[in-house]
Structure 1
Amino acid sequence: MTDDLIAELESQERELELSRFDNADAWRLGSSLVRLATDRELPVAIDIRRGAQQLFHAALAGSVADNDRWIERKVRVVERYGVSSFLVGRRLAAKGQELDAGMGVNPADYAAHGGAFPIRIKDVGVVAVVTVSGLPQAEDHALVVEALRAFRS
């Protein structure tokens, strides 16, 4: 099961590679996530950032300030490892490992939990990160993937 999930997550990363991504795209993707979450009454925070610049942020009803802290920690994982925070966490779990000081990171600053996904441009690499926080990690991840699939269409 773990190997199947890891393979599925790796496939999603390849599938969801984009040809371009700019500030207007961040607004469209973020707004799409807000609509999905609002329609389902999900208590989430949504964030899209390129490096140090926050391009989009929304805190929906029921979300809390701690969701923003989780976003920061998940984003750091994507920025460091170049893949989704969920994929990093599942790969580590498959090896019986955790993201901790033994790997050179402070777990207070990094969270290998689902919800942060790289915005990858073909022939360029990771240019931004889109993140959802507030649901169980697999659901955070699935919401981002759903929105990215619709965004690509």
Structure 2
Amino acid sequence: MDTGYPPLGELLAQESELQFSSFTYDDAWALGGLLRRMASEQGAPVAIDLRRGDQQVFHTALPGSSADNDHWIDRKVRVVKRLGNSSLAVGQLWRDRGTTFEAGSGLDPARYAAAGGCFPILVRGVGPVGTIAVSGLPEVEDHRLIVEALRAFLAEHR
């Protein structure tokens, strides 16, 4: 049965593939700008957020997005920071277990959302150093937009 969600193995493979050799403030600005251009070209009504550690280093909102998208971003970021995987992968892990993140994790759903749209910024040999998040599209589309931007950025900056 096709649920529209990528399999967990594919989501974890993306995390293995989409890693940086380093991640600077300039990288955050360039990646955020690329993601904004991509979203704008698609007419996507999204908010975009990049963080290094706990510091927000890039944030923008496109027409059609709202402050509610910022709230979703914060909830998705908490999931990635706490569990280390993309928010879509965390949600898929619970779906694969036959339940939901909300029912199975014990975490407050007002503070945590395992909905697609946040991805760890991973540096090879170091691990997670930040997050990149999108909110405003269906969760799988939020995730795909991030993956497309990361692939394009890393192809140009490797």
- TM-score of the superposed pair, with normalisation by structure 2: 0.92
Distance 1:122 1:30 in 2: 20
Distance 1:151 1:105 in 2: 33
Q: Given the superposition, is the C-alpha separation of residues 5 and 34 from structure 1 closer, same or farther in structure 2, using an over 3 Å criterion?
A: same
Moved over 4 A (4+): 1-4
Measured against aligned partners, the alpha-carbon deviations of 1:84-128 in whole angstroms (never above 9, x if no partner) come to 000000110110222237523101100000000000001100001
Q: Which amino acid aligns with 1:88?
A: V
1:85 aligns with 87
How far did residue 4 of structure 1 move?
6.3
1:116 aligns with 118
Distance 1:67 1:35 in 2: 18
Q: 1:147 aligns with which of 140, 146, 149?
A: 149
For residues 33-52 of structure 1, the aligned pairs below 5 Å read 33-52=35-54
When the two chains are superposed, the root-mean-square deviation of aligned CA atoms in Å is: 1.5
Does the CA contact (< 8 Å) of 1:101 and 1:107 recur in 2?
A: no
1:130 aligns with 132
Distance 1:35 1:77 in 2: 26
Query: How many residues end up aligned between the 2 structures?
Result: 153
1:19 aligns with 21
Does the CA contact (< 8 Å) of 1:44 and 1:135 recur in 2?
A: yes
Partner of 2:19, secondary structure, is: coil
2:73 aligns with 71
1:105 aligns with 107
- TM-score of the superposed pair, with normalisation by structure 1: 0.95
Distance 2:57 2:25 in 1: 6
Does the CA contact (< 8 Å) of 1:17 and 1:120 recur in 2?
A: yes
Corresponding position: 1:62 with 2:71: no
* Percent of pairs with identical residues: 55
Q: Given the superposition, is the C-alpha separation of residues 129 and 4 from structure 1 closer, same or farther in structure 2, using an over 3 Å criterion?
A: closer
